[in-house]
Amino acid sequence: MNTQQSADRRLIFLGLVAAIVIAGAFYLGLTGAFAPNESSASLTVPKTSHSFGDIDIFGGKVSAKFPLKNESDEPIDILWGKTTCMCTEGTIDGKTFGMHEGFIGKITINPGETKILRATYDPLAHGPNAVGPITRALILGTNSTTTEQIEVKIDGNVVKKT
């Protein structure tokens, strides 16, 4: 066997080892082996819905704020966020998320701390003729065993004002 064949075999071997390591890491991620620490903390969400009433389709985006308070003795982590429609986005602690661009990460809310979840709705997202009632939700997943998910809703009636 010449030097080139030996080098080729080493590259193939290293490639196979790398593929096995990557596949193993992916499998462990899917099975929860890298799951975050659970918390018995819970979030208090005093306001879980907001009604905008009539929303002018050409009036620009509208927003509502939802405070999330950790009233327990240990931190709680928000691990992901998503919305139920592309016309709606959420922002919390500088992370913005939507229906197709959900976030996966970690936002820690320490004991006694409050973070604000902002829900923003774009009435023109579905086109200039998309009028009528809307209801949208923002959903956050946590590491809490008592508050696994937080869901807040916004609603309104999209109209064309003259």
Reported as type and span, the H/E element at residue 6 is: helix 3-31
Which CATH fold topology does 43-159 show?
Immunoglobulin-like (2.60.40)
Residue 113: name the closest of 92, 97, 95 by CA: 92
| pLDDT of 30 | 46
| pLDDT of 36 | 58
- What is the average pLDDT across 81-94? 95
| pLDDT of 33 | 42
- On whether the CB atoms of residues 119 and 64 are closer than 8 A, the answer is yes
pTM of this structure = 0.76
**Burial profile 89-121: b = 16 or more Cβ within 10 angstroms, e = fewer:** bbbbeeeebbeeeebeeebebeeeeebebebbb
**Pairing between β-strand 95-97 and β-strand 103-109 as defined by DSSP bridges:** unpaired
